Amino acid sequence: MTILSLSKALNEGMRKAMEDDPKVLIMGEDVGKLGGVFRVTDGLQKDFGEDRVIDTPLAESGIIGTAIGLALRGYRPVCEIQFDGFVFPAADQIITQLAKMPMRSLGAIKLPVVVRIPCGGGIGAVEHHSESPEAYFTHTAGLRVVACSNPADAYTMIQQAIRSDDPVIFFEPKRRYWEKADIDTADTGWWTPLDKGKVVRPGTDATLVAYGPMVKTCLEAAKAAEDDGRSLEVIDLRSLNPLDTPLVMDSVRRTGRVVVVHEAPVNSGFGAELAARITEQCFYHLEAPVLRVGGFSTPYPPSKLEEHYLPDLDRVLDAVDRSFGF
Amino acid sequence: MAIPPKLAPTAQEWHVTADASRGAAAPPELVQLLTPEGERVEHPDYDIDLKPEEVRSLYRDLVLVRRIDLEAVALQRQGELGIWASLLGQEAAQIGSGRALTDADMAFPTYREHGVAWCRDVDPVKLLGLFRGVNHGGWDPREHNFHLYTIVIGSQTLHAVGYAMGVQRDDAPSATIAYFGDGATSQGDVNESFIWASVFNAPIVFFCQNNQWAISEPLEKQTRIPLYRRASGFGFPGIRVDGNDVFACLAVTRQALKNAREGQGPTLIEAYTYRMGAHTTTDDPTRYRVASELEAWKLKDPIERVKSYLFKNELADQAFFDSVEAEAEQLGADLRRRCLAMPDPAPLDIFDHVYAEPHPLIDEERAQYAAYLEGFEQR
């Protein structure tokens, strides 16, 4: 067992993947000597060299576009987008090329490209450094979209993402980078498949569905609710596309109440997809409408106001109360 | 793997070397009017006739913006700002180009152009709002002809060209200047802005502060040729100026702006300078660059050379330098006081100005959140 922070768990996961497969490359801005602005790639260039850990020119579209070319040549690039808000210059390559090229080739082409994106707010950053852009990518067919929430999942999911023959958009909750856990790096028996979610806290009265940074918030809310005599189940989706529908529906059929929580704006956010699917598949089990807690329909605010924008324990429990009020 | 570890020696003609003074030796094409030692030198194409009071005024600008920057770094260290992007070392590039602008000219900055903001009469405290997290902008760009800071690298260069195209269509006697750094020259947007400016002959000056570093990546990660030479491929002139020489920056920018106003189209100016500090206050440059590089550049300080020039030519006495120093202290103290007094935004401000016209969803969310907050107050 090894105690690792979430960022170090990603680092160790990538290191393992690079040791296992010489075709795995790391590329991005400042990923080399600096080790990335969050130090997620710290030490990898020193150990694997500049050919495998590539400091790229400052151009996100270029990073993804050339990663596609490297993948066409048999490499497995793991691209770092420095901050969520900087993925948009690369959106063209991701949406029009990366997501669609395999299908256009009738399966002849595989693009095992991982796009790592530190996401979410809560670190007091300036604009474009606190975004939650997952819905843009779940809306794009051809991309697997996953989000880790804790060090153990970070360690396993990054390796699974790198092994996947599909492009994977890999969200990392930046405000959780420094959280630590004891991880069994020797055994793989405990790994959950990349496309499966997890019940991270069992409960009977209502289901909280979250991913990435909001999983911890929901766990805290569930703990607080316990004091009020309410048993909340918490699901960590882990994978947004594909969605582990059986896991979610099973929980909803048991509890009858659901609150979906994400940092991204509620409006056209990933919660909308969940709400629709739950309503379609569990309509007669629902005791209340599916409720959503998330960011407002506004740009991410200046950091002095981010505590208002970001869902917290109180806002989650407020939604739980509303659910029970129906 | 067959990747050449070092690129073929086009490097010889400029500064790509592995030695510790990387970039510190002046490359041959550099326009310089004031040496690091404070000696006035002539240049056949660019000269400038500055009156003593103008030189003293430039000196004052340089000292004051350095003081503003220093205070902001200190404020960040004390937790009063979330982050700060220091301009240390780039004062001459910013004051020289900033003072070349006329009131009617329009400037599009990155997030580091605090010196240009000074030249555009933006109250320094307004620069702090973005970094303190109380707002995303802080000033009215129209009031100062100084656009909001842009954080996404290079985006503003296209806005600047579009603005210049508007100026062109209005037949207005003004020019536009777009600021960006060496790293930004790799971005698609910047290259597209060069193309747009070129084919539309837009009245624009591209002012690239080549401070040698894009966070941890040295210049050779972005280019194999001197950046100013990129311009020729796009079809307009490029010029490299000593970015630590305020005289040269002023002269070269003034000429380029004049050319733009007179319908001669764009110019790329590469101000050859050095980022003396970290990329931002969250960065740790000791991880990726050697101290001796910093030492070499310290000898080229943009302020010291003006001071030497003023001294040597007896254009200023000790009383003048003392008074500027006192003014700087006053400015720093005042900035600190006003930063601490800056009010936090109100929670419901989140919902303001998202749309120019009424929006029912925003109104609904504002009302819902107001009721939610009231619920806490009643408890």
Give B82-114 pLDDT, tens digit per residue. Answer: 999 999 999 999 999 999 999 999 999 999 999
A2-183 CATH, one of 3.40.50.1100, 3.40.50.970, 3.30.930.10, 3.30.200.20: 3.40.50.970
Q: What is the length of chain A?
A: 326
- pLDDT of B11 > 80? The answer is no
A318 closest CB neighbour out of B129, B344, B372: B372
Query: How many angstroms separate the first and last alpha carbons of chain A?
Result: 46
B152 closest CB neighbour out of A51, A128, A314: A128
- Are A85 and B151 a contacting pair at CB < 8 A? yes
Please, what's the b/e burial string for A261-290 (b: 16 or more CB within 10 A of its CB; e: otherwise)? bbbbbbbebbbbbbbebbeeebeeebebeb
Question: pLDDT band at B221, cuts 50/70/90?
Answer: very high
Give B285-297 as a DSSP string. Answer: GGGTS-HHHHHHH
Q: Which of residues 254-283 of A touch B (CB under 8 A)?
A: 267
Query: Which tens digits make up the pLDDT trace of B298-357?
Result: 999 999 999 999 999 999 999 999 999 999 999 999 999 999 999 999 999 999 999 999
| B chain contacts of residue A91, beta-carbon cutoff 8 Å | none
B367 touches chain A (CB under 8 A): no
- pLDDT of B17 > 80? The answer is no
- Are A58 and B222 a contacting pair at CB < 8 A? yes
Look at residues A68, A26, A59, A60 and name the one whose alpha carbon lies nearest to residue A45: A26
Q: Please give the average per-residue pLDDT across B153-176, as a whole number.
A: 97
CA A170 to chain centre: 6
CA angle A303–A308–A311, rounded 5-degree value: 110
Cβ-contact A264, A214 below 8 angstroms? no
B351 touches chain A (CB under 8 A): yes
**Residue A223, SS3 per DSSP:** helix
Share of chain B above pLDDT 90, in %: 91
Question: pLDDT band at B9, cuts 50/70/90?
Answer: very low
Q: Please give the average per-residue pLDDT across A92-121, as a whole number.
A: 97
| B chain contacts of residue A93, beta-carbon cutoff 8 Å | none
Whole-angstrom Cα distance, residue B263 to residue B150?
A: 27
Domain ranges of chain A: 2-183, 198-325
Query: Which tens digits make up the pLDDT trace of A189-237?
Result: 999 999 999 999 999 999 999 999 999 999 999 999 999 899 999 999 9
Q: Residue A129 has what DSSP assignment?
A: S
Contacts of A259 (CB under 8 A, 6+ apart): A206, A207, A208, A209, A290, A291, A292, A293, A316, A319, A320, A323
Whole-angstrom Cα distance, residue B153 to residue A59?
A: 9
Task: Give kind and range of the element (H or E) at residue B269.
Answer: strand B267-272
B355 touches chain A (CB under 8 A): no
Q: Is the peptide bond before A242 cis (omega within 30 degrees of 0)?
A: yes
Better-scored residue on pLDDT, A281 or B9:
A281
Look at residues B202, B203, B20, B5 and name the one whose alpha carbon lies nearest to residue B102: B203
Q: Please give the average per-residue pLDDT across B152-172, as a whole number.
A: 97
Q: What is the pLDDT of residue A283?
A: 98
Look at residues A202, A196, A125, A130 and name the one whose alpha carbon lies nearest to residue A157: A196
B83 closest CB neighbour out of A32, A55, A126: A126
Question: pLDDT band at B12, cuts 50/70/90?
Answer: very low
Whole-angstrom Cα distance, residue A126 to residue A137?
A: 23
Look at residues B20, B2, B16 and name the one whose alpha carbon lies nearest to residue B297: B20
Least confident of A165-174, B26-35, B295-304: B26-35
Contacts of B272 (CB under 8 A, 6+ apart): B23, B26, B27, B30, B210, B240, B241, B242, B243, B244
Chain A to chain B Cβ contacts (< 8 Å): 117
Give A71-84 as a DSSP string. Answer: HHTT-EEEEE-SSG
**Residue A235, SS3 per DSSP:** strand
Contacts of B379 (CB under 8 A, 6+ apart): none
Cβ-contact B224, B253 below 8 angstroms? no
Q: Residue A192 has what DSSP assignment?
A: P
Q: What is the pLDDT of residue B152?
A: 96
Cβ-contact A259, A292 below 8 angstroms? yes
Q: What is the pLDDT of residue B25?
A: 61
Look at residues B334, B311, B314 and name the one whose alpha carbon lies nearest to residue B123: B334
Q: What is the pLDDT of residue B378?
A: 77
C-alpha neighbours within 13 Å on the C-beta side of residue B99: 20
Please tell me the CATH code under which domain B9-340 is placed: 3.40.50.970
Task: Give kind and range of the element (H or E) at residue B54.
Answer: helix B52-77
A198-325 CATH, one of 3.40.50.920, 1.10.20.10, 3.30.1180.20, 3.30.360.10: 3.40.50.920
- Whether the domain at A2-183 and the domain at A198-325 fall into the same CATH topology: yes
Q: Which two tokens stand for residue A313?
A: 């324990």
Query: Which tens digits make up the pLDDT trace of B178-202?
Result: 999 999 999 999 999 999 999 999 9
Look at residues A38, A311, A295 and name the one whose alpha carbon lies nearest to residue A176: A38
Q: What is the pLDDT of residue B47?
A: 84
| A chain contacts of residue B135, beta-carbon cutoff 8 Å | 302
Q: Residue A97 has what DSSP assignment?
A: I
Question: pLDDT band at B7, cuts 50/70/90?
Answer: very low
A55 closest CB neighbour out of B83, B135, B217: B217
| A chain contacts of residue B218, beta-carbon cutoff 8 Å | none
A296 touches chain B (CB under 8 A): yes
Question: pLDDT band at B29, cuts 50/70/90?
Answer: confident
**Residue A98, SS3 per DSSP:** helix
| B chain contacts of residue A127, beta-carbon cutoff 8 Å | 130, 136, 151
Domain ranges of chain B: 9-340, 347-378
A139 tagged catalytic:
no
Cβ-contact B68, B335 below 8 angstroms? yes
Look at residues B260, B266, B336 and name the one whose alpha carbon lies nearest to residue B73: B336
Whole-angstrom Cα distance, residue A175 to residue A79?
A: 20
Look at residues B273, B238, B237, B267 and name the one whose alpha carbon lies nearest to residue B254: B267
Q: What is the pLDDT of residue B124?
A: 97
A295 bridge partner residues:
A265
- pLDDT of B255 > 70? The answer is yes
